[in-house]
Amino acid sequence: MRCLFLPLALLLLAGCDTLSTTGSGGAELMSRLDGTWTRTITMERIRSDGSVTPEGTPEVDAFEVGRVIECNRTTLQNAGEDDRIAVSYDPAAPRGFRDCSVITSDGTASRLIFIGAGGNIIDDVVATIVEDSASRQVWSFYRFDGAEAVRTLWTLTR
């Protein structure tokens, strides 16, 4: 019986190391995101033959990321270094409807996870970081529509 405890203990220790976000770059990424951005949302349809065509009309709004954010008359605060609260709103009506999200990064800081997107605590949405700088961010989201894919790009600029 004693022989089983040592491998189990080593497995548990190794498991803890793989779940750690220490040094993952998530906190550094999140600090670069802090502040108010201009967000442009564009969509492209990717067809099965490889062709890509624009879809819809680009949308522009304000996108604010921070540790403490006002969200529709409620103040939300983040829980750690590797996550933030984000809110999008119409810059012409900053006190109007505010769409709020909790965002965190993956272990390599190459993707962002929007936790409980659309108010559904079950659905998380993942964005791949295409560009990452203090003055410009480009994130891509993908979804399938039958045999075709729709790529949504968020371009954030300061």
Average pLDDT over every residue of 5-17:
34
Residue 101: partners with Cβ closer than 8 Å, 6 or more residues away:
85, 86, 87, 114, 115, 116, 117
Spatial contact of 155 and 42, defined as CB atoms under 8 Å apart: yes
Amino acid letter at 22? T
Domain 24-157 has CATH 3.40.50.2000: no
| Spatial distance between the Cα atoms of 10 and 12, rounded to a whole number of angstroms | 5
| pLDDT tens-place string over residues 12-58 | 333 333 223 344 578 899 999 999 999 999 999 999 999 999 999 99
Does the global pTM surpass 0.85?
no
| Spatial distance between the Cα atoms of 112 and 91, rounded to a whole number of angstroms | 24
| pLDDT tens-place string over residues 87-133 | 999 999 888 888 888 899 988 889 999 987 655 556 789 999 999 99
Tokens standing for residue 29 = 């990424």
Q: Is 27 helix (H, G, I), strand (E, B) or coil?
A: helix
The residue extents of the domains of the chain are 24-157
